[in-house]
Amino acid sequence: MKVFALILGAGKGERLGFQLPKAFVPLRGKPLFVHSVLAFEEVKEIQGGAIVVPEGWEGEAEKHLISLKKRWKVTKGGKTRQESAFFGLLALEDLRPDYVLIHDAARPL
């Protein structure tokens, strides 16, 4: 059975008052989304996943995934949460998942 995680982190986070997207706001020295990725790295049933980030932030996200043991993809988000989830599912399509767990990057703990 192929199980993957989809982490939605394409929100702008304007209400937070930061100059960077919400998924990249630092928490304990790491961007928010990295805490979720590291948690999924510890779940043996999950083979990897995809992280959806704002357009233009894909490269920055990839920098944080280089040393991980599971396969993680990065893709750009859409105009809505639903569109971002769709883009994330498309990013995982070639892996032919049986199940995809969808998680919000803004809730890392």
3-8 and 48-53 strand pairing: parallel
Radius of gyration of the chain (CA): 13
Beta-carbon neighbour count of residue 15 at 10 Å?
A: 8
Domains of the chain: 3-104 (3.90.550.10)
How high is the pLDDT of residue 109?
Answer: 73
Residue whose token pair is 């994330």: 88
Encode the chain (109 residues) as per-residue pLDDT tens digits.
Answer: 999 999 999 987 666 666 789 999 999 999 999 999 999 999 999 999 999 999 999 999 999 999 999 999 999 999 999 999 999 999 999 999 999 999 999 898 7
How high is the pLDDT of residue 83?
Answer: 98
Residue whose token pair is 């928490």: 27
Going 65 to 37 to 91 to 2, the CA torsion angle's sign is positive
- Verdict on whether the full-model pTM lies above 0.85: yes
Q: How is residue 78 written in tokens?
A: 């859409």
List, for residues 87-107, the tens digit of each pLDDT value.
999 999 999 999 999 999 989
